[in-house]
């Protein structure tokens, strides 16, 4: 998007952003029960809001029954199709979108980056929301639909601002939904904790913090830390260190990489910290561990 000749108030907003949400397609659809759809797959997110009627969404072989004021966000590259169930037909709004890069987190207490990371988790092919009859989300979706269809000079910018408003509303609703579900259903909490654990396993080499991990599953930092330790009998911080040490042991025994490179590769800020943590965990230095593993290998051979 070119920012030439933008109003000054808009320009300051856009200058804060490192990327742009891109609306691929935004349409309003009405289908009767005779309508059929082939299994579909695409490289962007698809947000569907049911205005009227009932439908079943089949996403990655999971049936999701949807009623008026229900919303589903289908992740990229998920096989899916919609089946109309109401004899009187079904009316829904569809917003297809993607993001150029990671986004700035200043628009909401739940950052866009957290939201995207969360719905990108491989164990979750979609996100479902049940909205109240009078909700703001449907209003913003309708406004995006109108603005995106206009051929006006400021159309893209208005769509962008409306999209960010939509994100804030969806993120808050998603957070409230998770909070309420975890209060009443231990199964849901266990699912979230396993998602957090899988997230650590897949991202241990990154700069992980308790705050970033708890935000990833939309739980408060203290509540997440307490429940994680109760579920797995280990604190999140200790678990991260264990995963990193195990990854380092694998590299020490199977490669000839420099120890300083291994330290960085598994997520330690310095070789000295890596040496200290490794020594505490294994009662030996990384160098000695490598020597011991080579001796074991020679003896086996």
Q: State pLDDT tens for residues 13-62.
A: 445 444 456 677 777 888 888 888 889 888 888 889 999 999 999 998 88
Q: State pLDDT tens for residues 239-255.
A: 999 999 999 999 999 99
Is residue 245 in some structural domain? Answer: yes
List of long-range contacts for 5-12, beta carbons under 8 Å, 24+ apart:
6/157, 10/157, 10/161
Is residue 190 in some structural domain? Answer: no
Contact criterion met (CB below 8 Å) for 36 and 62: no
Q: State pLDDT tens for residues 168-218.
A: 788 778 777 766 665 555 667 788 899 999 999 999 998 888 888 988 887
167 & 71 share domain = yes
β-pairing verdict for 126-130 and 70-74: antiparallel
147 & 257 share domain = no
Contact criterion met (CB below 8 Å) for 173 and 73: no
The domain of 233 spans: 206-301
CATH number of the domain that residue 47 is part of: 2.60.120.280
40 & 89 share domain = yes
Is residue 86 in some structural domain? Answer: yes
Domain boundary among 125, 154, 184: 184
Is residue 192 in some structural domain? Answer: no
Is residue 41 in some structural domain? Answer: yes
Domain boundary among 152, 184, 216: 184
168 & 38 share domain = yes
Q: Helices 186-203 and 236-254 meet at what angle, rounded to 10?
A: 40
Number of domains in the chain: 2
151 & 22 share domain = yes
Is residue 247 in some structural domain? Answer: yes
171 & 278 share domain = no
Is residue 46 in some structural domain? Answer: yes
């Amino acid at each position: 998007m070119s920012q030439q000749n933008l109003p000054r108030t808009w320009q300051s907003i856009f200058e804060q952003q490192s990327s742009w949400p891109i609306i691929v397609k935004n349409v309003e659809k009405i289908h009767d029960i005779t309508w059929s759809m082939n299994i579909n797959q695409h490289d962007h997110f698809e947000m569907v809001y049911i205005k009227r009627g009932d439908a079943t969404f089949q996403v990655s072989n999971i049936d999701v029954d949807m009623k008026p004021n229900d919303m589903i966000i289908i992740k990229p590259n998920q096989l899916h199709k919609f089946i109309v169930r109401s004899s009187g037909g079904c009316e829904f709004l569809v917003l297809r979108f993607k993001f150029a890069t990671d986004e700035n987190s200043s628009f909401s207490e739940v950052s866009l980056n957290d939201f995207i990371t969360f719905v990108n988790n491989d164990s979750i092919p979609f996100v479902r929301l049940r909205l109240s009859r009078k909700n703001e989300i449907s209003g913003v979706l309708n406004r995006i639909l109108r603005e995106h269809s206009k051929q006006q000079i400021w159309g893209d910018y208005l769509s962008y601002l409306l999209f960010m408003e939509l994100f804030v509303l969806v993120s808050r609703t998603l957070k409230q939904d998770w909070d309420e579900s975890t209060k009443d259903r231990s199964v849901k909490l266990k699912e979230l904790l396993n998602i957090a654990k899988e997230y650590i396993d897949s991202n241990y080499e990154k700069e992980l913090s308790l705050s970033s991990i708890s935000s990833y599953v939309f739980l408060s930092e203290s509540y997440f830390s307490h429940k994680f330790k109760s579920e797995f009998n280990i604190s999140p911080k200790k678990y991260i260190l264990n995963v990193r040490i195990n990854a380092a042991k694998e590299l020490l025994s199977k490669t000839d990489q420099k120890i300083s490179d291994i330290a960085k590769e598994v997520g330690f800020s310095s070789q000295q910290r890596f040496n200290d943590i490794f020594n505490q965990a294994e009662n030996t230095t990384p160098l000695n561990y490598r020597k011991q593993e080579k001796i074991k290998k020679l003896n086996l051979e």
